[in-house]
Chains A and B, each alone.
Chain A
């Protein structure tokens, strides 16, 4: 048994070593050529990309005088036989940078808001239940963002996660969750409209993006670049196609992006078109969301950053200005390049098991002695596990 396992693990190790070696060699080549890549030379591949340069250095700006909010939501789901509970909490932290030692911070609605409790008594499928819970969390976050836009004068609002719903969260029109989905879409529209009318820049910070937009771009342009004999020589014996096939944007960009560098800036809509599941009325807004990756910390993966900006030539300036403010917020820890307001919001929004248990205990107390919320069998195995 242990001999078999070791053999299998050894094969995995071999594969990892091979990929890492390829990745390192690929990164070394890309470091040499990244500044020379001109995307505008490849019109077919560059559709939806607003910048000709493949990478660009961003200079951080002082934060004095800026007000930057971070918004995050927490979610805990508890499934019972009679009712599914969704406990969510949305919180905004508003950092005002002055001349003092550190930011002055306000919280909305409170430093530690009481969680919202949603429930569903209809028998949902596992996927629907998952979608319902996520939509509940997203709607909580969007409502907090709308309130912040109304009640605070902020320069930038950082949302933890994408500015657009994920295709996986879109239920079918016959689903019990569809109504909730419509509600979330309405909130998105309100947020985009309100943000675009204000002077505040709405930003989505995606910590662990699974997107492959840049990887695909590289897959498209590298064969052209390799026509250059010098480049061909550099890339010889590197299985870049295999590498790109198995990599996500963040993984591949981590091999050659330096701290303070961003990649191309592209429209969110170009990704939606590829997945064919966007709603037409939101496509307009998706065209105003600009996406880029920026390396904020030396030893951390690049961050995917989405910025809502007007669909005009000034939009890239807005993106770069936003990134210039994002850098000093994110570059304090060499291995964790997440902006401080997001870190703070994440901590405050998180719902601990103890808190969730408190809600459940309270539910039982209020429901009286006859009510016993029976957890799913897998959760109450008498032998644990």
Chain B
């Protein structure tokens, strides 16, 4: 008999049912009194065998009581108004049967596919912390402490490499705790030491939810020295240097520029780069187009019109602000705060520019590996209305090619069904918080290989702050209670009543 896990808490005994125990499932009668909650749904449990520890997860718990099996008898006995418990010791007949689904076999420090059924009568125990951490591929030394496993007192510390190296998506309905989880993730990323490996983070903050982090210091996270840096860039201060944009790049900011128009623009851009090596504005470009006799009248007017329209956004100029090379550094968080903008187009232009330039710089080796966190990702790379999604090609390019260069994406969305399938399918890890929309659930189910029907059903019942991790980060889909964040944003009220009272006081 394998002695691993033998010291854990005894939970119950495997029983025979119609088709179980089989290789993938077994049921066990739970120990303890009628009011004790010994096993919980979602809990990992283990059965020690000669071949190793069979690890399973409790899918459901069924309570049985012979006194309540005959509905007619219950009705008749209670017809005088007294509960059945007042007549019989019904509580002494209460039995809880847990239905567990096997998730793997842990043998000699390795996770194997289950290939045999556990024996009826076998003792079911909780799983040792060490065994469970190893089984789930957690990195208890250098991992990111994001929370605790639901119903198992194990800190959930996935390795940074497994969590981020193949992109990640955070999906949930509004108010389920997406931003909270991102805050926790950022705290963990900022807390990393040089020895543990630090990643540069660019956070596209659509609603200004993370601006509170701009003043955070290492001491706030219980760290010493200047081990991290936070830069807050307001969208209104953002400036895209026009001379860095090719004709195609400018064309990408305009949804329906024709190939003839791009060709003419390409020539004009080439000429102006030679004549104005110190830089130029869109206004200069418009002047040059309007004085160019080689461009046909209609094309000239269209190009000028688009460029004027782009210039009116105020996002373009001669100098780059901020400098993208200094934006991405190990241990640095750059928050690009787009909350100043109401215009979606302005936000899209900035995201498109950042995505393209950062990937380019990373390919050239001019910036270190980075993680780009994109809030409201469905606004920037939607599945439909391609013409209105300016950054989509750039984000899809990072999704497809970025991981080779460690240009990594973290997409956040409350409408997964509206998110580009191409991008979502490239996210090898998904963090799913409470979601109830059936279309979104269906989309999540179809885009996630590791998620089964039971886990999908459980997503609707998740509490705020509970998440399901699916993908390469863990060996099996894992429910996690996200930890409390160390830094709480000040002056940000989430309660309507409090906001109303504050407004009244003012």
Binding site for B on A (CB under 8 A): 93, 95, 101-103, 105, 111, 332-336, 340, 343-344, 347
Is A102 touching B73 in the complex (CB atoms < 8 A)?
no
User: Is B66 a contact partner of A333 (Cβ separation < 8 A)?
Assistant: no
- Are A102 and B80 neighbours in the complex by a CB distance under 8 Å? no
Q: Is the CB of B89 within 8 A of A333?
A: no
Question: Residue B366 at the A interface, CB < 8 A?
Answer: no
What are 17 inter-chain pairs, A to B, with CB distance below 8 A?
Answer: A101-B83, A102-B83, A102-B87, A103-B89, A105-B89, A111-B92, A332-B77, A332-B80, A332-B82, A332-B87, A333-B77, A334-B76, A336-B73, A336-B76, A340-B87, A344-B89, A347-B66
Contact (Cβ within 8 A) A101 B86:
yes
CB distance from A107 to the nearest CB of B (A): 8
Query: Are B76 and A333 closer than 8 Å at their CB atoms?
Result: yes
13 more CB-based (< 8 A) A-B contacts, given A103-B89, A344-B89: A95-B89, A102-B83, A102-B88, A102-B89, A102-B90, A103-B86, A105-B89, A105-B92, A332-B80, A334-B76, A334-B79, A340-B88, A347-B66
Q: Which of B76, B77, B79, B85 contacts A102 (CB 8 A)?
A: B85
Contacts of B82 in A (CB 8 A): 332
The answer for the CA separation of A344 and B79 in the assembled complex, in Å, is: 20
CA of A93 to CA of B87, assembled, Å: 13
- Distance between B423 CB and nearest chain A CB, rounded to angstroms: 56
Residue from the list A102, A105, A333, A336 in contact with B86, Cβ < 8 A: A102
Residue from B86, B88, B92 in contact with A343 in the complex, judged by beta carbons closer than 8 Å: B88
Contacts of B73 in A (CB 8 A): 333, 336
Q: How far is the CA of A334 from the CA of B79 in the complex (A)?
A: 9
A315 to chain B, nearest CB (A): 29
List chain B residues, Cβ under 8 A from A335: 76
Q: Which of B66, B79, B82, B87 has its CB near the most chain A CB atoms (within 10 A)?
A: B87
Q: Which residue of B lies closest to A330 (CB)?
A: B87
Our count of residue pairs bridging A and B at CB distance below 8 angstroms stands at: 36
Contact B88 A344 (CB under 8 A): yes
Mark contacts of B35-50 with chain A using CB atoms, 8 A cut-off: 1 yes-contact digit, 0 otherwise.
Answer: 0000000000000000
| A343 / chain B contacts, CB cutoff of 8 Å | 88
The interface residues of chain A lying within 8 Å CB-to-CB of B76 are: 332-336
Task: Looking at the assembled complex, report how far the CB atom of A43 sits from the nearest CB atom of chain B, in whole angstroms.
Answer: 43
Contacts of B88 in A (CB 8 A): 102, 340, 343-344
Considering only residues 72-129 of chain B, those with a C-beta below 8 Å from chain A are: 73, 76-77, 79-80, 82-83, 85-90, 92
Chain B, 51-88, CB within 8 A of any chain A CB: 66, 73, 76-77, 79-80, 82-83, 85-88
* Bound: A89/B79 CA distance, A: 33
Give the distance to chain B from A297, nearest Cβ to Cβ, in Å.
10
Chain A residue at minimum C-beta to C-beta distance from B85:
A102
* CB of A178 to closest CB in B, whole Å: 39
Which residue in chain A gives the minimum CB-CB distance to B91? A102
Give chain A residues whose Cβ lies under 8 Å from the Cβ of B86. 101-103
Residue of A nearest to B73 (CB): A333
CB contacts (< 8 Å) of B83 on chain A: these are 101-102
**CA–CA, A334 and B76, complex, Å:** 7
B92 → A minimal CB distance (Å): 6
State in angstroms the CA–CA spacing of A103 and B92 once bound together.
11
Q: Which residues in B have their C-beta under 8 angstroms from that of A105?
A: 89, 92
CB of A145 to closest CB in B, whole Å: 20
Q: In whole angstroms, how far apart are the Cα atoms of A95 and B92 in the complex?
A: 12
Residue of A nearest to B79 (CB): A334
B363-413, CB < 8 A from A: none
A112 to B66, CA, bound (A): 14
Interfacial chain B residues near A333, Cβ < 8 Å: 73, 76-77
Contacts of A103 in B (CB 8 A): 86, 89
CB proximity of B14 to chain A, nearest CB, Å: 16
Q: Which of B328-364 contact A (CB under 8 A)?
A: none
Contacts of B87 in A (CB 8 A): 102, 332, 340
Closest to A95 in B: B89
Instruction: Among B66, B77, B79, B89, point to the contact of A93 (Cβ < 8 A).
Output: B89
For A347, list chain B residues within 8 Å (CB): 66
Chain A residues, Cβ within 8 Å of B66: 347
| B35 CB, nearest partner CB in chain A, Å | 14
- The 4 A-B residue pairs whose C-beta atoms are closest, nearest first, are A105-B89, A102-B85, A102-B86, A333-B76
A336 surroundings in chain B (CB, below 8 A)? 73, 76
Q: How long is the Cα–Cα vector from A334 to B72 in the complex, in angstroms? A: 11
Query: A347 vs B92: C-alpha distance in the bound complex, in angstroms?
Result: 12
A101 touches B92 (CB 8 A): no
Shortest Cβ gap from A104 to chain B (Å): 8
Q: Which residue of chain B has the shortest Cβ distance to A335 in the bound complex?
A: B76
> CB-nearest residue of chain A relative to B82?
A332
Q: Which B residue's beta carbon lies closest to that of A104?
A: B89
- Across-interface contacts of A332 in B (CB, < 8 A): 76-77, 80, 82, 87
Distance in angstroms between the alpha carbons of A340 and B79 in the assembled complex: 16
Question: How far, in angstroms, from A105 to B34 measured CA to CA in the complex?
Answer: 14
Closest Cβ–Cβ distance, residue B16 to chain A (whole Å)? 10
Which residue in chain A gives the minimum CB-CB distance to B90? A102
In the assembled complex, the Cα of A340 lies from the Cα of B82 at a distance in Å of 14
Nearest CB in chain B: distance from A340 CB, A: 5
Q: Which residue of B lies closest to A93 (CB)?
A: B89
- B80, B86, B88: which has the most chain A beta carbons within 10 Å? B88
CA distance A101 to B86 in the complex (A): 5
- Tell me the bound Cα distance from A335 to B70 in angstroms: 14
Minimum distance in angstroms from A349 CB to a CB of chain B: 14
Residue in chain B with minimal CB distance to A347: B66
Nearest CB of A to B78, in Å: 8
> Which residues of B lie under 8 Å from residue A340 when comparing CB positions?
87-88
Contacts of A344 in B (CB 8 A): 88-89
Contact check, B80 vs A101: say whether CB atoms are below 8 A apart: no
B75 CB to nearest chain A CB (Å)? 10
CB distance from A204 to the nearest CB of B (A): 21
Q: For A334, what are the chain B residues with a Cβ–Cβ distance below 8 Å?
A: 76, 79
Contacts of B85 in A (CB 8 A): 101-102
CA distance A69 to B82 in the complex (A): 21
Closest to B76 in A: A333
User: Which residues from A are CB-within-8-Å of B79?
Assistant: 334
Q: What's the least CB distance linking B405 to chain A, in Å?
A: 64
Task: Give the distance in Å from the alpha carbon of A121 to the alpha carbon of B66 in the complex.
Answer: 38
Collect the chain B residues with CB atoms within 8 Å of residue A102's CB.
83, 85-90
B88 to chain A minimum Cβ distance, whole angstroms, is 5
Closest chain A CB from B468 CB (angstroms): 40
Bound CA span A347–B73, Å: 15
What is the CA–CA distance of A103 and B77 in the complex, to the nearest angstrom? 16
Complex-state Cα separation, A344 to B88, whole angstroms:
7
Query: Measured between C-beta atoms, what is the minimum distance from A45 to chain B in Å?
Result: 39
Chain A residue numbers with a CB within 8 Å of B80 are 332
- Cα–Cα, bound, A54→B16 (Å): 56
What CA separation (Å) do A93 and B73 show in the bound complex? Answer: 21
In the complex, what distance in Å separates the CA atom of A333 from the CA atom of B78? 8
* B325 CB to nearest chain A CB (Å): 74
Q: Report the bound CA distance from A13 to B82 in whole Å.
A: 40
Q: How far is the CB of A66 from chain B (nearest CB, A)?
A: 14
> Considering only CB atoms, which chain B residue lies closest to A111 in the complex?
B92
Task: Specify the chain B residue showing the minimal Cβ separation from A334.
Answer: B76
Q: For the complex formed, measure the closest distance between the CB of B111 and the CB atoms of chain A, giving whole angstroms.
A: 36
A329 to chain B, nearest CB (A): 8
* Chain B neighbourhood of A95, CB < 8 A: 89
Nearest chain B CB to A141 CB, angstrom units: 20
- Minimal beta-carbon separation of A126 from chain B (angstroms): 34
Q: Which of B156-176 contact A (CB under 8 A)?
A: none
| Complex Cα spacing A298 to B86, Å | 20
Report the separation of the CA atoms of residues A333 and B77 in the bound assembly, to the nearest whole angstrom.
5
Q: How far is the CB of B25 from chain A (nearest CB, A)?
A: 22
Closest B residue by C-beta to A297: B76
Nearest-neighbour CB distance to chain A for B455, whole angstroms, equals 35
